Amino acid sequence: MSTTERPRILVVGGGYVGLYAARRILKKMRYGEATVTVVDPRSYMTYQPFLPEAAAGSISPRHVVVPLRRVLPKAEVLTGRVMTIDQDRKVAVVQPLVGEAYELPFDYLVIALGAVSRTFPIPGLAENGIGMKGIEEAIGLRNHVLEQLDKADSTTDEEIRRKALTFVFVGGGFAGAETIGEVEDMARDAAKYYPNVKREDMRFILVDAADKILPEVGPKLGQWGLEHLQKRGVEIYLSTSMDSCVDGHVVLKNGLEVDSNTVVWTAGVKPNPALARFGLPLGPRGHVDTAPTLQVQGTEYIWAAGDNAQVPDLAAGEGAWCPPNAQHALRQAKVLGDNVISGMRGFPQREYKHANKGAVAGLGLHKGVAMIVFGKTKIKLKGRLAWYMHRGYHGMAMPTFNRKIRVFADWTLGMFLKREVVSLGAIENPREEFYEAAAPVSAAAVNKAEKTTAKAS
């Protein structure tokens, strides 16, 4: 970490808002005017709308993330966590990945921590659930699903097969519907290479407490998406929830009970709980309360935006708040960056206002729904055309030209080459095989092996 006598703009979080706000500030800032410092536990930003495609193998996982140090070469990038903030002293306590925590002074502060999975105290969820908030989880889900096919193909035990080939997804919003659509597509393709596994042997279940799925695209397109998934063999249970999943035994509130090795949790998000330690004014759901200028209420040197902020939606009217999506996060980050520069120079702040442009969702290869808004006109698309809209929009929204090219290259290759269906589950424990080879064999293990051999003979 370098030291400087220049004012420091501290950006807490290197996600979508943190990355774009820092880039905007660096672009607008005069040479030597301030130091921009970004603190995040990861050294990269994840473009979350592509996680379902990464889980399905349509995009390389490395192309879904953007390295912060490469994109922000003129900024300080610290890999760690901001534990607390002393607003009176203008000091943040940073806990690095290794070593002792230290104090970091700042003059201007940007809160961009984003959101985490919204969970409930459901028995077995912490032990068995798989989230979809990070690239690590997407890779883990892909490997896990393919491992279940490996297990089912290699055994004749019907109970083991049934549990391995039952996949439960909780949450019917964008994340849940897109993930189950992509994973079902991948599993259907992969089954062609397993002689003892067919698509008819698999059971995909989607559960949501609401009475519809994909509410972001409206009731008609949401209903089309529901019927489309059902035609593909996905069981959908609405107006219900999961009571427990201890040891993979899933119990739904509607009385359904199934055994499953796979429970994917996509039931919404909540603001990062670390916000509670920062002494900032919070809304009823834990979001940082901001003015339309994205300044935190009651402050002149702190800004917040994105999933961790409660931003008034001026385009929607009084009492409305901006929804937590990439469409708003991108535009808020740019306004926030401009306002930080204005605040540093003593100029007036600009209010954030953006009218909703619609929503797009992919439900697997060549399948999707889209609602495009032009003024007061709403254009609703479904099927292949909506899927093209989904890919086009998110492909262009992907940060940096480098990553855009890589993502479009993955899609182009996918038009000519078959999807990879290789499970790399061992990547989660890469040293296991080496440890078994290098670790000294205990006398107890030798005796156990000799007794097993003697019984077998």
Of 397 and 433, which is predicted with more confidence?
397
What is residue 2's predicted lDDT score, i.e. its pLDDT? Answer: 43
DSSP state of 246: G
pLDDT tens digit sequence for 212-269: 999 989 899 999 999 999 999 999 999 999 999 999 999 999 999 999 999 999 998 8
Q: Roughly what angle, to the nearest 10 degrees, separates helices 384-397 and 401-414? A: 150
**Cα–Cα dist 362/181, whole Å:** 8
pLDDT tens digit sequence for 324-337: 888 899 999 999 99
Examine the pLDDT at 105 and tell me if it is beyond 50.
yes
What is residue 1's predicted lDDT score, i.e. its pLDDT? Answer: 46
Q: Are 125 and 265 in contact (CB under 8 A)?
A: yes
* 113-123 residues labelled b (16+ CB within 10 A) or e (exposed): bbbbbeeeebe
**Cα–Cα dist 266/141, whole Å:** 12
Closest CA to 171 of 255, 52, 17, 58: 52
Residue 291 exposure: Cα atoms within 13 Å on the Cβ side: 14
Other Cβ atoms closer than 10 A to 37: 23
Residue 81 exposure: Cα atoms within 13 Å on the Cβ side: 11
What is residue 446's predicted lDDT score, i.e. its pLDDT? Answer: 54
Structure tokens at 147: 């491992």
**Cα–Cα dist 312/293, whole Å:** 9
Would you call 173 helix, strand, or coil by DSSP? coil
Structure tokens at 200: 């008819």
**Cα–Cα dist 251/131, whole Å:** 19
* Sign of the C-alpha dihedral computed for residues 85, 90, 92 and 93 taken in this order: negative
* Average pLDDT score over residue span 359-376: 91
pLDDT tens digit sequence for 368-411: 999 998 877 889 999 999 999 999 999 999 989 999 999 999 99
Structure tokens at 238: 């609405």
Would you call 171 helix, strand, or coil by DSSP? coil
Q: DSSP E strands: which ranges in 13-90?
A: 35-40, 44-46, 65-67, 76-86
Q: Are 136 and 142 in contact (CB under 8 A)?
A: no
> Considering the entire predicted model, what is its pTM?
0.89
Closest CA to 145 of 196, 188, 192: 188
* 72-91 residues labelled b (16+ CB within 10 A) or e (exposed): beebbbbbbbbeebeeeebe
What is residue 3's predicted lDDT score, i.e. its pLDDT? Answer: 45
User: Degrees (nearest 5) of the Cα angle 24, 30, 33?
Assistant: 100
Examine the pLDDT at 38 and tell me if it is beyond 90.
yes
The total number of residues shown for the chain amounts to 457
Range with lowest mean pLDDT among 92-96, 125-129, 356-360: 356-360
Backbone angle region of 366, left / alpha / beta, with phi > 0 → left and psi within -120 to 50 → alpha: left
